[in-house]
């Protein structure tokens, strides 16, 4: 059965035949090349070596082009990674900057709902803080500093919160006031990074 062609297929076939004809005209067989070399007073016996060199240069040019493509892709990926990392840390810094401490209490470890203003040496205290605008889905690195009456840091708590699930988040840090601790007005601070969120004074007797 005779195969029938659509107009589109005919146009494609005509184009392909033309391309093959042009290619055939552009290609020379060995005898033609040797004849050209003789006309140019060049030794035809060097043809094989010359063809090897031409193929080698073409392969090298192709490899360089391929390597350039790989380098461009690598640089692009690196730029995107750096930009993405920078954006991540910028967003994280912005979310941390919004955090505030809305409430705080100094209590004994066994919380009785109190907010102690005065404690005895040997007491184990908890500093209970309620954070607002906490970054949901993240963890916060927090620091508590317990300062004696001379403003010298007697003890530091460094810890990471659990994964935050609500914008209002309760946290706490603890310290056992030594029996021989300096008496007077102490204070406890809570920070995230270098940002002071809250501090509370209390007397140690």
The chain-wide mean pLDDT, for the chain, equals 86
Dihedral (CA of 66, 67, 73, 77) sign? positive
Q: Check pLDDT > 70 for residue 78.
A: yes
Give residue-wise pLDDT tens across range 178-195. Answer: 999 999 999 999 999 999
Structural domains in the chain plus CATH codes: 28-95 (no CATH), 100-204 (2.60.40.1930)
Q: What's residue 46's pLDDT?
A: 75
Q: 184: helix, coil or strand?
A: strand
Q: How confident is residue 3, by pLDDT bands cut at 50, 70 and 90? A: low
Give residue-wise pLDDT tens across range 57-70. Answer: 888 888 888 888 88
What stretches of the chain adopt beta strand conformation (E)? 100-108, 118-119, 124-132, 141-147, 153-160, 169-176, 184-192, 195-204
Q: Check pLDDT > 90 for residue 47.
A: no
Q: 199: helix, coil or strand?
A: strand
pTM over 0.85: no
Average pLDDT estimate for 142-161: 97
Q: What is the DSSP letter of 67?
A: H
């Amino acid at each position: 059965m005779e195969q029938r062609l659509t107009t589109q297929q005919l146009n494609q076939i005509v184009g392909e035949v033309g391309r093959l004809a042009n290619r055939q005209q552009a290609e020379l067989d060995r005898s033609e090349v040797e004849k050209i070399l003789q006309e140019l007073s060049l030794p035809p016996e060097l043809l094989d070596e010359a063809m090897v060199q031409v193929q080698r240069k073409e392969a090298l040019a192709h490899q360089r082009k391929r390597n350039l493509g790989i380098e461009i892709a690598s640089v692009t990926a690196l730029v995107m990674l750096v930009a993405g990392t920078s954006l991540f840390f910028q967003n994280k810094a912005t979310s941390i900057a919004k955090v505030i401490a809305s409430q705080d209490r100094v209590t004994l470890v066994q919380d009785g709902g109190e907010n102690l203003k005065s404690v005895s040496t040997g007491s184990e205290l908890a500093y209970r803080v309620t954070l607002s605008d906490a970054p949901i889905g993240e963890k916060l690195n927090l620091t508590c500093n317990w300062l004696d009456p001379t403003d010298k840091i007697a003890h530091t708590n460094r810890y990471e919160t659990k994964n935050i699930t609500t914008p209002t988040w309760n946290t706490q840090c603890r310290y056992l006031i030594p029996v021989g601790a300096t008496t007077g007005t102490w204070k406890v601070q809570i920070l995230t990074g270098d940002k002071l969120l809250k501090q509370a004074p209390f007397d140690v007797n």
